[in-house]
A = this chain, B = another copy of it.
Amino acid sequence: MAWRAALRSKAVIPALLSCSSHGRLCASPTFITQRNNSTSPKIKVDYDQTTGVAVMHMQSPPVNSLSLDFLTELCISLEKLEMDKGCRGLIITSNQPKVFSAGLDILEMYGKSPEHCGEFWKVVQEMWLKLYGSNMVTIAAINGSSPAGGCLLSLTCDYRIMADNPLYSIGLNETQLGIVAPFWFKETMVNTVGHRNTEVALQLGLLYKPAEALKIGLVDQLVPEDQVFSVATQTMTKWLTIPEHARQITKSMMRNPTIDKLRTNREADIQNFVSFITKESIQKSLRMYMEMLKQRKA
């Protein structure tokens, strides 16, 4: 499971507990402070104008949770790069040890107002719309575990290179936490690994070891951990030799039907998400989550 690796780094638990102000759960103030430190960017963007390739280093301790702040920052960065005609490729990777991204920040949904939850969901949608439909070549350099929203983030890219480390895993494991991946998570998954693999993966909330992920096509390539980034760079060079306009139109043709489904259903999708929350399923999900962590530690 994705969390096993994260747990070993002793960093994930405080983050998961940092919702103490809303509930009975015990929290580590140090990490709360760290989380709220919005003066330092959660994403470091290196843009090399000579190659036309930008790199997003996710650096939001401890596990690059996709919080409202994180996603807002990601969307703003994306928009800037997208508008820069010289920027043709984007590599997304993690600066945190052993984790690519742990997925949506459950604290944005726990004990929050429907308005906040709706706001949060809107930016999750925005991230996916921007990335899945990006004109740039996008490559995920997956150098750590990548469950749930972290997996979705990877799936939005054009190509996925993962560290061949059996301690890591990747997958849409929502059902394991008692929650449901929305239709556009599902469709992105179907577009990548097909209907049947998705049906089993989503029903069971499966997290795949790198070798299994490669086998079903959830990632495209496995490389030794220290080569993830260099191989991503080489792969980018190859993709950038393709005539740009033709590649962009081709990409749109493949992805727009899925994108259009969300575009025309954003409000209903937000309502759906918010109503799900008010039904206390998130509270339940958080309890299950803590339960799972306890068992894993034991």
Contacts and interface: CB of A to CB of B under 8 A. Distances in A.
A253 B191 contact: no
B243 A195 contact: no
Contacts of A246: 174-175, 177-180, 205
A178 to B, nearest CB: 4
Interface string A143-180: 00000000000000011000000000000001111111
Q: Interface of chain A, helix or strand or loop or mixed?
A: helix
Interface in A218-268: 220, 238-239, 242-243, 245-247, 249-251, 253-255
- One complex includes copies of this chain to the number of 3
Interface string A10-44: 00000000000000000000000000000000000
Interface string A268-298: 0000000000000100000010000000000
Contacts of A5: none
A243 B194 contact: no
Contacts of A243: 175-178, 288
Given A180-B249, A247-B203, A249-B180, A198 B242 contact: no
Nearest to A246: B175
B253 A180 contact: yes
Contacts of A76: none
A239 B196 contact: no
A175 B254 contact: no
Contact of A254 (B179, B199, B254): B199
Contacts of A107: none
B242 A175 contact: yes
A192 B242 CA distance: 24
Contacts of A242: 175-176, 203-205
Given A180-B249, A245-B178, A246-B179, A217 B203 contact: no
Contacts of A186: 250, 253-254
A258 to B, nearest CB: 10
Interface string A88-119: 00000000000000000000000000000000
A246 B288 CA distance: 13
B199 A191 contact: yes
Interface of A: 158-159, 174-181, 183, 186, 190-196, 198-200, 202-205, 217, 220, 238-239, 242-243, 245-247, 249-251, 253-255, 281, 288
Given A200-B220, A202-B253, A203-B242, 11 more contacts: A158-B203, A174-B246, A179-B246, A183-B253, A186-B254, A191-B195, A191-B196, A192-B195, A196-B217, A199-B251, A205-B246
